């Protein structure tokens, strides 16, 4: 594990942030359409997409703090690109980045596999859902509704934050684009 950022790490995280900032903006608009059909479940279905910048940044750089930096910069790019959530996206980026980072902290940044990604997905879901229980007013729903929203979010985060991040890593690794990760 590397302990500090180098120029190539900063560039990589910035590229991830820009790409995901654009994806986040597109997802914001999709959310508005989906919300009409499924209400608060729209947020939970799409939530996994909104957290991908953090786990991808840390999984590719393997530097403590990368998940927070990646997620916050992705949120900043979303704001700059005109996302519908405005400046509140930055606070969400911090919360989601911290949640993602916790999953790797559990293993003291020594484990880089499916287990650490899955742990990161679980910690991201718990931390972000705890925050949004109050921010989105979920606390006023019945326990069954809260459990259903949590379950949908967890599935979304596992799909995007574990399966998709690991798949992207695998594609980049096979393309020999990640030599610095193995050094």
pLDDT at 160: 99
Q: How far is it, in rounded angstroms, from Cα 69 to Cα 14?
A: 9
What is the span of the domain harbouring residue 85?
7-182
Which single residue is written with the structure tokens 């914001």? 28
Is 56 within the bounds of a domain?
yes
pLDDT-derived band at 2, boundaries 50, 70, 90: confident
pLDDT at 179: 73
Is 2 within the bounds of a domain?
no
pLDDT tens for 24-69 read 999 988 999 999 999 999 999 999 999 999 999 999 999 999 999 9
pLDDT at 182: 54
pLDDT-derived band at 79, boundaries 50, 70, 90: very high
Is 1 within the bounds of a domain?
no
Is 137 within the bounds of a domain?
yes
Range 158-165 average pLDDT: 99
pLDDT at 28: 87
Is 119 within the bounds of a domain?
yes
Is 58 within the bounds of a domain?
yes
Average pLDDT, the chain: 95
Give whole-number Cα distances, 181 to 2, 11, 138, 161, 162, in Å: 9, 14, 40, 19, 18
Give whole-number Cα distances, 9 to 3, 6, 32, 165, 169, in Å: 11, 5, 34, 17, 15
pLDDT at 180: 66
Whether 113 shows a pLDDT value over 90: the answer reads yes
Range 80-99 average pLDDT: 96
Domains identified in the chain, total number = 1
* pLDDT above 90 as % of the chain: 92
pLDDT-derived band at 104, boundaries 50, 70, 90: very high
The 3-state secondary structure of 68-92, one letter per residue: HHHHHHHHHHHHHCCCCCCCHHHHH
The pTM of the whole model exceeds 0.85: yes
């Amino acid at each position: 594990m590397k302990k500090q950022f180098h120029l190539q790490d900063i560039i990589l995280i910035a590229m991830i942030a820009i790409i995901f900032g654009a994806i986040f903006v597109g997802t914001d608009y999709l959310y508005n359409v989906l919300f009409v059909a499924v209400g608060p479940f729209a947020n939970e279905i799409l939530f996994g997409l909104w957290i991908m910048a953090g786990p991808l940044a840390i999984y590719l750089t393997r530097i403590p703090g990368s998940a927070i930096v990646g997620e916050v910069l992705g949120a900043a790019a979303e704001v700059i690109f005109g996302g519908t959530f405005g400046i509140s996206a930055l606070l969400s980026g911090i919360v989601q980045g911290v949640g993602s980072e916790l999953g790797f902290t559990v293993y003291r940044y020594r484990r880089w596999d499916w287990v650490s990604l899955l742990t990161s997905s679980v910690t991201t879901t718990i931390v972000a859902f705890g925050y949004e229980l109050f921010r989105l007013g979920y606390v006023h729903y019945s326990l069954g509704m809260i459990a259903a929203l949590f379950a949908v979010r967890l599935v979304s985060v596992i799909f995007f934050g574990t399966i998709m991040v690991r798949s992207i890593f695998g594609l980049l690794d096979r393309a020999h684009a990640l030599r610095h990760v193995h050094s």
